[in-house]
């Protein structure tokens, strides 16, 4: 009898870990940042996704502050390009996962799960979310367009 109870407890714990309220908790940041350092997208260089085709860690030597976040870059050229065109290089929806936004919740994207679509950077919380978005970005962006303004209002400035 006890192994059965332990198994039920383990399964309940796993369910809560992956699907519980913490995953869908409303955040209070308009840009996904580290709450201790204020660094956006885990310190990855947002311009590098376009230039190098993927995430490249930025350095404290090349930082910029914008939109209440600290952004890191791998070189001065990427920093200058970002500051000249932040709407192009910054992750869409503040770095939140657009597939979750389409469901009506804000979940931080992981800079390692990314996609560039229509010359814009999107971050996803899970690999399967990225794959679903890549298969039909228009459908997700339509839903995001309906939900993002209200969700954005709930986020603090």
Question: Model confidence over 145-157: pLDDT tens digits?
Answer: 999 999 999 886 4
The sign of the CA dihedral 34, 108, 127, 15 is: positive
Q: Which residue has the higher pLDDT, 154 or 78?
A: 78
DSSP lists the bridge partners of residue 117 as 120
Instruction: For residue 21, tell me if it sits in a domain.
Output: no
Q: Which two tokens stand for residue 63?
A: 């930082």
- Please report the pLDDT score of residue 154 as a whole number: 87
Q: Which two tokens stand for residue 57?
A: 């860690």
Instruction: For residue 148, tell me if it sits in a domain.
Output: yes
Instruction: For residue 129, tell me if it sits in a domain.
Output: yes
Instruction: For residue 126, tell me if it sits in a domain.
Output: yes
Total domain count for the chain? Answer: 1
User: pTM for the full model?
Assistant: 0.81
Instruction: For residue 2, tell me if it sits in a domain.
Output: no
Instruction: For residue 17, tell me if it sits in a domain.
Output: no
Instruction: For residue 146, tell me if it sits in a domain.
Output: yes
Instruction: For residue 5, tell me if it sits in a domain.
Output: no
Residue ranges making up the domain that contains 38: 26-154
Average of per-residue pLDDT values in the chain = 86
Q: Are 144 and 151 in contact (CB under 8 A)?
A: no
* Alpha-carbon gap, residue 114 to 44, rounded angstroms: 12
* Alpha-carbon gap, residue 64 to 83, rounded angstroms: 8
């Amino acid at each position: 009898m006890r192994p059965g109870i332990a198994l039920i407890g383990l399964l309940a714990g796993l369910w809560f870990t992956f699907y519980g309220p913490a995953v869908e908790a409303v955040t209070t940041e308009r840009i996904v940042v580290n709450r201790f350092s204020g660094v956006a997208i885990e310190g990855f260089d947002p311009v590098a996704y376009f230039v190098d085709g993927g995430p490249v860690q930025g350095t404290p030597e090349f930082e910029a502050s914008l939109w209440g976040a600290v952004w890191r870059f791998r070189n001065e050229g990427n920093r200058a390009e970002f500051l000249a065109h932040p709407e192009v290089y910054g992750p869409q929806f503040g770095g939140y996962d657009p597939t979750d936004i389409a469901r009506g919740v804000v979940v931080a994207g992981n800079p390692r799960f990314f996609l560039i679509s229509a010359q814009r950077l999107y971050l996803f919380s899970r690999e399967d979310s990225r794959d679903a978005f890549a298969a039909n970005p228009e459908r997700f962006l339509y839903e995001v367009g309906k939900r993002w303004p209200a969700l954005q209002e709930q986020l603090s400035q």
